[in-house]
Amino acid sequence: MTDDESSDTQTPVSEETESRSQISDGAHINLPLGEAHTSAEASAITSRQRTQLVMVAGAVRSGKTTLLASLFHRFQKGPFAGLLFAGSTTLPDLDRRCHLARTSSRRTTPDTGRTRPGVPRKLLHLRLRVEDLTEGIVDVLFTDLSGEDYEAARNSPEECRGMRLIHQSDHFVLLLDGKMLTYPTKRQAAKHEAVTLLRCCVESGQLGAHSLVDVLVNKWDAVHVDDQSKRQQNIEFVEDVEQLIRDRFSKNLGRLRFFRIAARPEFPGFQLCHGLEDPLRSWTFDRPESLLERTVRITEPPLSSEFERFMQRKIPSMFADEGK
């Protein structure tokens, strides 16, 4: 993958914005197209207020775009995960991504359109607010990159380093295709792809002690088959994969968690966005800075006297480096 970040930032925001707001004829003005944002366009959101950037990574057809479309489907049914939908600057593009899962597409099985590799428009936007309105609105930007983009990053440290959004993200979400993990002939490849991508991101410095990483085993409904014996085999393999990732990467990352989800379940017994409540709340509210603060607090040695504790409360900057 080429460094699409660089090409994005080379597009002046003012020029882009200007062309979209100009009067198109004597009678109309052009409205924002509502497409996924480039990084440069997204700066208009990030500079305005608190914004969370969620990098959704994974192999081809692991369900990255489906995850985002399913969240939008879910909010169309009502509040989700204790959160209210408060708007979006990319509504038409979100709606377009939902199309193939609707009966109006005339399909009989749901699908999601493939995301093309290397597209500069890759950030989808949701504004969310906690349901009891006790906190303000949070802007959340989700990346929607193709599996091929991550394949390139997996195969080349240069490509991986070029994906600067990984480093900039508040949350790195790695999707594992749970369905693939149930196929004896494909499960090792699926595991290998996930582990290799994480390794490349860690070795290139894109992910590290500053990173909040969630590994989501998607299509959990396909793992959870009726046959008890097969189900147990599936679950054991997933547990092995999770343990492998935990053993290899947990010491390198600020936080590493595992979730089992079904963004758009095919099989009975699972609701839309199964298992996504906790991750979504975390992506909306948890910030790497707060994790770092917690780490400092946990690792710092106990202060020896009440006076030192008092001093720390009064002049926290004096003690900022302790415990690192």
Partner 1 sequence: MTSASSKHFIIGLPEAGKTTFLAALWHVVETREVEGSLVLDSFHGDQGYLHDITALWADSNKLERTKIPHEKYVSMHLRESTETVTAEVVFTDLSGESFQIQWRDRQMDIKYAKLLDESCGGLMFIHPLKVVSETLISDVNPLINRLTATEPRSAREAPDAEAPQESPDEAQWDADTSPTQVQLVDLAQFAVERCCERRDKIRIGLIVSAWDCIDSQVRPSEWVREYLPLLWQYVTANDAIDVEYFGISAQGGKLEDADELREVARTSGRCSDRIRVVLDDLSESHDITSPIRWVMGLQ
Q: Which residues of this chain interact with partner 1, rule CB under 8 A?
A: 23-24, 26-34, 61, 73, 75-79, 84-89, 91-92, 95-96, 98-111, 127-129, 133, 136-137, 177, 179-180, 182-183, 185-186, 222-223, 225-227, 230, 264-268, 272
Q: How far is the CB of 165 from partner 1 (least distance, A)?
A: 25
Q: How far is the CB of 232 from partner 1 (least distance, A)?
A: 14
Interior angle at CA 209, CA 195 and CA 287, nearest 5 = 105
Helix, strand or coil for residue 197?
helix
* Long-range CB contact pairs, 290-297, < 8 A, 24+: 291/212, 291/254, 291/255, 292/209, 292/210, 292/254, 295/209, 295/254, 296/320, 296/323, 296/324, 297/323
Q: How far is the CB of 256 from partner 1 (least distance, A)?
A: 26
Instruction: Using the minimum distance from each CB to partner 1, give the nearer residue, 159 or 177.
Output: 177
The burial class, CB within 10 Å (0-12 / 13-18 / 19+), for 90 is buried
Q: How far is the CB of 275 from partner 1 (least distance, A)?
A: 16
- Give first-to-last CA distance, the chain, whole Å: 36
Instruction: Using the minimum distance from each CB to partner 1, give the nearer residue, 272 or 291.
Output: 272
Q: How far is the CB of 2 from partner 1 (least distance, A)?
A: 27
Instruction: Using the minimum distance from each CB to partner 1, give the nearer residue, 127 or 199.
Output: 127
Q: How far is the CB of 215 from partner 1 (least distance, A)?
A: 19
Supply 87's token pair.
């708007």
Instruction: Using the minimum distance from each CB to partner 1, give the nearer residue, 161 or 219.
Output: 219
Euclidean distance between CA atoms 314 and 13, whole angstroms: 43
Euclidean distance between CA atoms 18 and 28, whole angstroms: 15
Q: How far is the CB of 266 from partner 1 (least distance, A)?
A: 7
Is the Cβ–Cβ distance between 38 and 200 less than 8 Å? no
Instruction: Using the minimum distance from each CB to partner 1, give the nearer residue, 230 or 309.
Output: 230
Instruction: Using the minimum distance from each CB to partner 1, give the nearer residue, 229 or 304.
Output: 229
Euclidean distance between CA atoms 144 and 150, whole angstroms: 11
Euclidean distance between CA atoms 176 and 193, whole angstroms: 9
Instruction: Using the minimum distance from each CB to partner 1, give the nearer residue, 161 or 179.
Output: 179
Supply 302's token pair.
């106990």
